[in-house]
A and B are shown apart, each in its own frame.
Chain A
Amino acid sequence: MMADVSAEQPSGTARWTFLASPSLIKIALLVVVAILVLGPVIVLLRASLAPQDVLPFETSAFTFANFRQIFAGNDTFTLLTTTIAYAGGSVLLGVGAAALVAWLTERTDMPGATVIRVFLFSWMAVPPLVIGFGWVLLINPGNGALNVLARAALGLTSPLFTIYSFWSLIIITAFSVFPTAYVMLGGLFSNMDPQLESAGHVHGSRSFTVMRRITLPLLIPGILSVGIFMVMIVVQAFEIPFIVGLSAQIRVLSTRVYLLASPTTGIPNYGLSSAFGVCLLGLACLLMWVYFRCVGTGEKYRVVTGKAFRPRRQKLGVWRLPVTCIVFALFGVMILPLLMIFWTSFTASYQVPSLAALGSLSFDNYSRALASPFAQQAIINTLVLVFASATLVMFLGSLIAWFSVRDRGLAARILDVLAFAPTAIPPVVMVIAILLVYIRTPVYGTIWILVLSSVTVQLAFATRTMTSALTQLHKELGDAATVCGASWWTSFRCITLPLLRVQFLSGWLFVAAHTSRDLTIPLVLMTSSNVVLASAIWMMWDFPDLPGAAAMAVLLVLGLLVIVLPVQILATRGRSGA
């Protein structure tokens, strides 16, 4: 039988297969990622050192004028303190509430835990843009629904609430921090080894003492690291400060960067905007550094282990009913802005919700919105944007993950770092930098520049997801294919990718949801031909066509829910089934 062995030896391979060799792919990846990530950063730095009012390519002059201007006025100091107070305040509130609710749902016998979990996990389907508009409709001092109601009920003369205050901004942001922090903390609370607590009980401590002396100290580092992470996110956040904060004259770094680059009047000041962007980037990097100092770099790829502890659940006793009521009231407040948008989407012209107005509700806005070529174009653009960027970025992320897990050479490490870098780059800064890079190219003004930006912004997430998935995949599965004669590319396509399809898909859905709800990218790069749903809503709101904007917003939320809800229900069911 050995005689025919030589006949079986592979003959010459097809000539193009060298294109699929891992080292070539690695180099190609490096180039692509460097262009995506480093390109904008370099141009941003260059622009910050260029004279104002010119594009960085069009000048050879270097000047520190922008930075001098920033550090000269005490305007900057106010801006910085406002930003920090804003981020700190909303994170304190949001993470505090999230920790409390996470403890209630994971470690006590509070009813409705599953509903709360699905609700909060699905909240990512709700664009911050829509929430911002909802709150404006609810509590603006003139005709905000709550204010009108309060006036009628209490006979007040001045408005009870106002959206145009620092506190409103903080509370609204806290509501958006809350679900994300809950998602991060939930795993922490449910995965805590209950034996540590049992040990306390065995030694005769009372429940409250155990909580104070054992549970809390164990959880503090986790809560703290989530807190720092959220500060990083809020400092980078743009949409809520933009929608809520601007009318109130509350400026934070991210909105300042945007307004300088896209002023409502006058010409863009790219130089100063870039210089502020560099400052914001510095702040974000500093926070990132603090974050990693606190949690250790190991945390970067931390995966929530499937280890199913059955934690001891605290009995709430007499507190059960009041606590449940308070928590559900909180969710009621969270939903209010959505309900307000929903209401508005059925009105012919905006009016405060009342029984009297009920008769005049109709679907007119929806049919009007769906009939207009503008909206149709926006929907098509959104679909293209979502499908293209989610697919591209997950694919890129998978490739990078493969090299950073399996190759581990110098090039692979550089790739890994480059792919992780966008985490520290605030999206608004990144997008303005991308604008500067591509403004003179034909890509600018098409939907593809949005795709490119989304890919860059989501690259870190995609890489992280696929990296943690790949580390759990036995290396021998891929090796087996290689020894069987498969080329690197075949092995990746036929073995690695199919085996990671679940993680790929859930990553894809996450990216899709976040891309379609995002306003930052479409707004900064907006031209008449690349309007997507988010920017269309913004334009209609600004026009102002509140009912039309509301109808589009409802459509967007519904579309997102269709994607997000089934996944979350399945995931929750799988979790409780395990």
Chain B
Amino acid sequence: MLKVSHLERTYPAQPGGAAVQALKSVSLSVEQGDIFSLLGPSGCGKTTMLQCIAGLETPDAGRIVIGGETVYSRDERIHLPANERGLGMVFQSYAIWPHMSVAENVAFPLLQRGRNPGREQIARRVDDALAMVELAGYGNRSATQLSGGQQQRIALARALVHKPRLLLLDEPLSNLDAKLRDTMRIELRRLIKSIGITAIFVTHDQVEAMGMSDRVALMRAGKVIQVGTSKEIYLNPHSAFAADFMGSGNLVACTISDVDNDRAVTTTPFGQIQAKVAAGLRAGDDAILVIRPNAPIIHTQPVDAQGDLAQIPGNVSSVTFLGEKIEVRVCLSGGYDFVVTMNTFEAPVEGQKVYLTLPAERCIVVHKDHPVSSAARSVDLEGLAA
């Protein structure tokens, strides 16, 4: 449905600043009917990417194909203007026009480009669109009299009323409060799926991306780092950045002592641990061992460590009650503070000696981050210190 290849976008230097390379040869491919997330930290180029697809921003190089039609190609000198791409878009600020009523807002796309389907047809389709977002009967309200959640749904109705071939959403949930965000996320997914439209969804929140999308592209500093379902990226990240961004985890610097197929033996400050290994790592490499907080199995007594199980003793240094779970910090032999989450009903006491059992399939060795940014390093260090 959507194919983006080698897209580049550099914002020219503003007076008193340097040029910003917002997209660096980004390639993506989105299947018909998928909800596809662009996930990444602030400033990584998600909005730029979306705007290039929408046609609001002109890339410097590359190619964009929507549903078989090339809408941008540097080499073929094609650039279809945004208003001729036939897309729908929900903006971060919703961009509801305050000088129009709700119905006028929603009817707007139906009246563009020389179309005028007639009064009844417009009224019917506006009503349908409003009913679809469960705001039937709100047509005559002024757009300024709506709550945040309602505005968001109006924006969605406006983006869908002209049956676009692709729906673009730029952080549509970020302006809602936490509770509403959760319900709207489920609602949004249900709605998009029921229409069957392909959607590109931008977010910087990994929980949102996981809850919404079929596939996720993880972005960082203008590049796509990893593409896959959220489960794939969570369980098999390629890099420390991907591991850290998709969820919390203990990131431990280690050295790979042996690689066998998809398994590796790593040397860590607290002993040898077996783990899955990301592609491209070889014996002798310095790497990062990722252990999710819910990965270790905790015993109060030493058990037989057999096969690929590793067992590490430690002392509970603190226990934090978080409701559904508790967070336990375990001080390991090398002086490491290791974060583990546990069932609320199995809370250990502080100072207690525990044994962490680590099955190899729950641990993964990933590439150390390229020294792209020092920010990533400090994330690693935090992980180590934690």
Residues of A bordering B, CB below 8 Å: 1-2, 4-5, 8-10, 13-14, 17, 474, 476-477, 479-488, 490, 494-495, 498-499, 501
Contact = CB atoms under 8 A, between A and B. Distances in A.
Contacts of A495: 97
B91 interface: yes
Interface string B182-202: 000000000000011100000
Interface string B132-151: 00000000000000000000
A303 to B, nearest CB: 20
Instruction: Give the 5 A-B residue pairs with the shortest CB-CB distance, closest first.
Output: A485-B112, A480-B95, A484-B109, A476-B95, A476-B91
B83 A486 contact: yes
A537 B86 CA distance: 60
B163 A484 contact: no
Given A8-B86, A479-B56, A485 B97 contact: no
Contacts of B56: 479, 482-483
Contact of B108 (A4, A484, A488): A484
Contacts, number: 97
Interface of B: 33, 51, 54-56, 81-89, 91-93, 95, 97-99, 108-109, 112-115, 155, 158-159, 162-165, 168, 195-197
A13 B84 CA distance: 9
Given A477-B95, A480-B91, 19 more contacts: A1-B197, A2-B195, A8-B164, A9-B165, A10-B86, A13-B114, A14-B114, A477-B97, A479-B51, A480-B89, A480-B158, A482-B82, A483-B54, A484-B83, A485-B83, A485-B112, A485-B113, A486-B112, A494-B108
Nearest to B168: A483
Nearest to B160: A1
15 contacts: A8-B164, A10-B113, A474-B93, A476-B92, A479-B82, A479-B95, A480-B158, A482-B55, A483-B54, A483-B87, A485-B86, A485-B112, A487-B112, A490-B112, A498-B99
Nearest to B15: A297
Q: Chain A binding site: helix, strand, loop or mixed by DSSP?
A: helix
A14 B116 CA distance: 13
Nearest to A479: B56
A1 B167 CA distance: 14
B82 A483 contact: yes
Contacts of A494: 108
Most buried by B among A5, A14, A480: A480
A244 B262 CA distance: 95
Contacts of B89: 479-480, 483
B97 A484 contact: no
A8 B93 contact: no
Contacts of B88: 483-484
Contacts of A483: 54-56, 82-83, 85, 87-89, 159, 168
B196 A482 contact: no
B195 A484 contact: no
Contacts of A4: 163
Nearest to A491: B83
Nearest to A480: B95
A9 B112 CA distance: 12
Given A1-B195, A1-B196, A8 B109 contact: no
A404 B92 CA distance: 24
A485 B95 contact: no
Contacts of A480: 89, 91, 95, 97, 155, 158
A105 B98 CA distance: 36
Nearest to A486: B112
Contacts of B114: 13-14, 17
A2 B197 CA distance: 7
B97 A1 contact: no
Contact of B84 (A2, A5, A10, A477): A10
A484 B154 CA distance: 14
Contact of A13 (B113, B155, B159, B164): B113
Contact of A5 (B99, B109, B112, B163): B163
Contacts of B98: 499
Nearest to B99: A498
A494 B109 CA distance: 12
B99 A499 contact: yes
B95 A2 contact: no
Given A476-B92, A476-B95, A487-B83, A481 B113 contact: no
Most buried by A among B56, B155, B196: B56
A486 B95 contact: no
Contacts of B84: 10, 13, 485
A4 B168 CA distance: 19
A8 B163 contact: yes
Contacts of A484: 83, 88, 108-109, 112, 158, 162
B109 A485 contact: yes
Nearest to B108: A484
A476 B93 contact: yes
B132 to A, nearest CB: 10
Contacts of B93: 474, 476
A4 B93 CA distance: 30
Contact of A1 (B85, B99, B108, B163): B163
Contacts of B83: 482-488
Given A477-B95, A499-B97, A499-B98, A485 B195 contact: no
A479 B91 contact: yes
Contacts of A485: 83-84, 86, 109, 112-113, 115, 162
Contacts of A481: 97, 108
